[in-house]
Amino acid sequence: MKNGKVQIGIIGCGGIANNKHFPSLKACADQNEIIAFCDIIEERAVKAAKEFGTKDAKVYTDYNELLKNPDIDLVHVLTPNVAHCPITVAAFKAGKHVLCEKPMAHNSSDAKKMIDAWKASGKKFTIGYQNRFREEVLALHKSCEQDELGEIYFAKAHAVRRRAVPTWGVFPNKALQGGGPLIDIGTHALDITLWMMNNYKPVSVSGSVFYKLGRDEHGPEGNVFGPWDPKTFEVEDSAFGLVKFENGATIFLEASWALNVDKSKEACTTLCGTKAGAHINSGGSYKTNELVYNKAKNGLLMEETISPAGVVAYFEGAGSAEGVTEAKQWLDAIINDKQPLVKPEQAFVVTQILEAIYKSAETGKEVYFN
């Protein structure tokens, strides 16, 4: 560190970097400096360095060259999914701390390599699940920790968009992303739900994956991000999974970029416990994020609703509250040698479950974990 600030190198200067990480790190300028930027498109890295870097920030097109820079303490890996593993492993071998954007990897084999490299490095590692840092998510998690819901034995993880297919970057490219809405936004909903239940021991997974609207010539109609090209839409447009756990609990996961439903619910969870239930509403159909508790009291069924100010940020160009909170706690973990909120072992289980849903859909069989 220099002057008490973490020295950061950014690998990948695209949408998630510009709309989440750069503004969020700028809001934490007392804790960090970005001294190096890398992107395969040099102009992106140059632009980012001018806007967010130190005066002498360096620009690279080869991440291996960036990793040779001895002044860098921490690397943020903000690339397409299939590049997460090789870059993260190389960063740990170079002696850097690593934040990798979600999901950890596009398959569990690569995720395991990342875990092994992290454990061998002695450095810190976290995954970019910023939705954990939303006000209502933190409040619900505290309720779960205090056993206010009792045993949570059934839950739903919601990541459903009616028509909001991302039409920029490499999102429809299966070779670079590894999948569509399941791996892109389903991963957030599953992470939140597992975290609430503190349940990371899956036993089996059944999944269904659909390639319907994405490849239909009429599918792009009404898309909030503009029309996509069905001929180049390689990934699924919706996916669903049923996950059973060692303790008998069950989670139903639903994810879509395009689905004929009347409401969009994204990065949401529904929890059913023995004492009470709760659910979070957020996404395109909600002006503000809502947290609703439900229980029986004095012989009546009651609902308690909390509606905090603000909404989830979807690429509006400024650091969201949860993005800034994520950055602050992550930098604090490095500076003061603490554990980050999002632990690699937890993110690894998320990747395992997502991969199992794809595998179950492909084989038509339930997937069992050892």
Tens digits of per-residue pLDDT, 101-129? Answer: 999 999 999 999 999 999 999 999 999 99
301 and 183 within one domain: yes
215 and 357 within one domain: yes
Are the C-beta atoms of residues 126 and 96 closer than 8 Å to each other? no
16 and 55 within one domain: yes
Phi, psi of 115 (to 5 degrees): -60, -45
Pairing relation of β-strands 290-297 and 250-256?
A: unpaired
- What is the predicted pLDDT for the residue at 333? 97
Q: For residue 344, is pLDDT > 80?
A: yes
137 and 119 within one domain: no
289 and 232 within one domain: yes
Three-class SS state of 308: coil
82-89 mean pLDDT: 98
299 and 161 within one domain: yes
151 and 276 within one domain: yes
Q: How many independent structural domains does the chain possess?
A: 2
- What is the tens place of the pLDDT at every residue in 163-215? 999 998 889 999 999 999 999 999 999 999 999 999 999 999 999 999 999 99
111 and 182 within one domain: no
Residue 36 maps to which CATH number?
Answer: 3.40.50.720
Eight-class DSSP state of 277: E
123 and 17 within one domain: yes
Within a domain: 1: no
Phi, psi of 9 (to 5 degrees): -115, 130
Q: Which domain holds residue 156?
A: 133-314+349-368
- What is the predicted pLDDT for the residue at 313? 39
Residue 217 maps to which CATH number?
Answer: 3.30.360.10
191 and 310 within one domain: yes
The least confident of 31-35, 191-195, 226-230, 241-245 is: 226-230
334 and 290 within one domain: no
121 and 59 within one domain: yes
